[in-house]
């Protein structure tokens, strides 16, 4: 495959509430930032990811074109998926060989609606959505299938929040975890005390859940020689692959992620050491499933940015994982990094990217 690298990444200072900015206003500064950093004003290809249901209106991506200044007209496409898949589409486009640069962005304001209920609408409309199974309920089904150690989950949350507080772009979430005293060290979580002690939907605690977040992110890809011209230490995409799996939760072993494991193998995660991994885990237990699926070595630093548990701007979160992993390569903290993005209920669809200096 043609050598393609991430040469710039920018993100908003994500917020847990609506700051009154429209989506184009949210996007404009990050687009300007990656343009400034690369010196590129035009790109061979542009692709974005967003979701109409977050805005509650059709064509949420249309006004974004005003933000990127698509004039003269640009070669552009859009996926109704996380921006990570927009990056994948751009990577594929760069394989053609006729263009050398691509702009990718993702954005979402989940503060505008009830995210937990909205996510119900991505379920099978005939057999699943009418059950009213919301996002927390199906995540709790997966958490229950995994039966993870409570202390281990709490530790993931504490680590993510601490890293998030060190990350100027992530939210500042407190160190204390609701109800943790009652259940720490227990792998059997049941009983009324615990339910009143911080559970959203048992066994899922409120602290296990990624916060509602507004935000956007942008990435610039460059192929061949252009990458070295635009960036001192480009993050070369050595492998990128994604896989989906059956939609129906009953058809999957929820304690594992077969599609994440397949994608990781196809992307070549195991071909070398992994210094850093940024995982699109929107719930604490998903990190455990993903670490296992990606067969990450013990020494790998997981989500040094704080990950989605510290900032989860839906539709940009996966792209931010790729951007954060690339940033570690750019600044020299990592030689080899892995980024993961997910879509669909209970990690139905997974994308894995391997980046190298």
Partner 1 sequence: MANRCAVIGVGQTHYTTKRGDVSIAGLVREAAIRALDDAGLTFKDIDAVVIGKAPDLFEGVMMPEAYLADALGAAGKPMMRVHTAGSVGGSTGLVGASLVQGGVHDRVLVVAFEKQSESNATWALSTHLPFNASLVVGAGGYFAPHIREYMRRTGAPAHIGTLVAVKDRLNALKNPYAHLKIPGIDRRMVESTPMLWEPIRYLETCPSSDGACAMVLSSEAKVTGTPAWVHGAAMRSEPIFRAGRDTVNPRAGKDCAADVYRQAGVTDPRRQIDVAEVYVPFSWYEPMWLENLGFAADGEGWKLTESGATALDGDIPWNASGGVLSSNPIGASGLIRFAEAALQVRGMAGEHQVDGARLALGHAYGGGAQFFAMWIVGRERP
The contact set with partner 1 (CB under 8 A) reads 1, 22, 46, 51-53, 55-59, 61-63, 65-66, 69-81, 85, 88-89, 92-98, 118-119, 121-126, 128-129, 241-248, 251, 258-259, 262, 343-345, 348-349
Which residue do the tokens 């899922």 mark? 204
The nearer residue to partner 1, 97 or 185, going by C-beta atoms, is 97
The nearer residue to partner 1, 78 or 328, going by C-beta atoms, is 78
The nearer residue to partner 1, 150 or 280, going by C-beta atoms, is 280
In this structure, what token pair is assigned to residue 318? 């996966």
Q: How far apart are CA 82 and CA 59, in angstroms?
A: 15
Q: How far apart are CA 241 and CA 100, in angstroms?
A: 20
Residues near 112 by beta carbon (within 8 Å), at least 6 away in sequence: 18, 54, 55, 56
In angstroms, give the least distance from the CB of 43 to partner 1. 12
The nearer residue to partner 1, 153 or 210, going by C-beta atoms, is 210
The nearer residue to partner 1, 26 or 189, going by C-beta atoms, is 26
In angstroms, give the least distance from the CB of 213 to partner 1. 18
Phi, psi of 110 (to 5 degrees): -80, -5
In angstroms, give the least distance from the CB of 168 to partner 1. 29
Residues near 293 by beta carbon (within 8 Å), at least 6 away in sequence: 256, 257, 258, 260, 261, 264, 350
Is residue 350 within 8 Å of 288, Cβ to Cβ?
Answer: no
In angstroms, give the least distance from the CB of 300 to partner 1. 25
In angstroms, give the least distance from the CB of 117 to partner 1. 11
Which residue do the tokens 């919301």 mark? 134
In angstroms, give the least distance from the CB of 292 to partner 1. 19
Q: How far apart are CA 268 and CA 20, in angstroms?
A: 42
The nearer residue to partner 1, 110 or 180, going by C-beta atoms, is 110
């Amino acid at each position: 495959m043609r050598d393609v690298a991430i040469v710039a990444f920018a993100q908003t200072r994500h917020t847990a509430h609506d700051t009154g900015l429209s989506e184009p206003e949210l996007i404009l500064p990050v687009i300007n930032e990656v343009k400034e950093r690369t010196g590129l004003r035009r790109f061979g290809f542009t692709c974005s990811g967003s979701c109409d249901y977050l805005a509650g209106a059709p064509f949420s991506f249309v006004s974004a074109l005003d933000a990127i200044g698509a004039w003269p007209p640009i070669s552009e496409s859009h996926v109704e998926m996380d921006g990570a898949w927009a990056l994948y589409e751009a990577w594929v486009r760069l394989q053609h060989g006729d263009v050398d640069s691509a702009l990718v962005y993702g954005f979402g304001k989940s503060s505008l609606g009830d995210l937990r209920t909205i996510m119900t609408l991505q379920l099978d409309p005939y057999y699943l959505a009418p059950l009213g199974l919301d996002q927390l309920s199906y995540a709790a089904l997966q958490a229950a299938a995994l039966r993870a150690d409570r202390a281990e989950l709490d530790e993931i949350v504490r680590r993510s929040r601490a890293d998030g507080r060190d990350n100027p772009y992530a939210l500042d979430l407190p160190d204390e975890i609701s109800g943790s005293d009652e259940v720490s060290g227990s792998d059997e979580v049941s009983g009324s005390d615990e339910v009143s002690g911080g559970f959203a939907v048992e066994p899922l605690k409120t602290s296990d859940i990624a916060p509602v977040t507004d935000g956007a992110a942008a990435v610039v890809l460059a192929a061949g020689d252009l990458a070295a011209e635009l960036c001192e230490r480009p993050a070369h995409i050595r492998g990128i692959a994604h896989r989906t799996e059956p939609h129906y939760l009953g058809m999957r072993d929820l304690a594992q992620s077969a599609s994440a494991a397949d994608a990781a193998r196809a992307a070549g995660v195991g071909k070398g050491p992994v210094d850093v991994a940024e995982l699109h885990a929107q719930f604490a237990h998903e990190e455990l499933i993903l670490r296992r699926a990606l067969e990450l070595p013990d020494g790998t630093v997981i989500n040094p940015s704080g990950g989605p548990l510290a900032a989860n701007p839906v539709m940009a979160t996966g792209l931010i994982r790729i951007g954060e992993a690339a940033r570690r390569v750019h600044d020299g903290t990592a030689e080899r990094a892995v980024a993961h993005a997910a879509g669909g209920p209970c990690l139905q669809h997974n994308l894995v990217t391997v980046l190298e200096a």
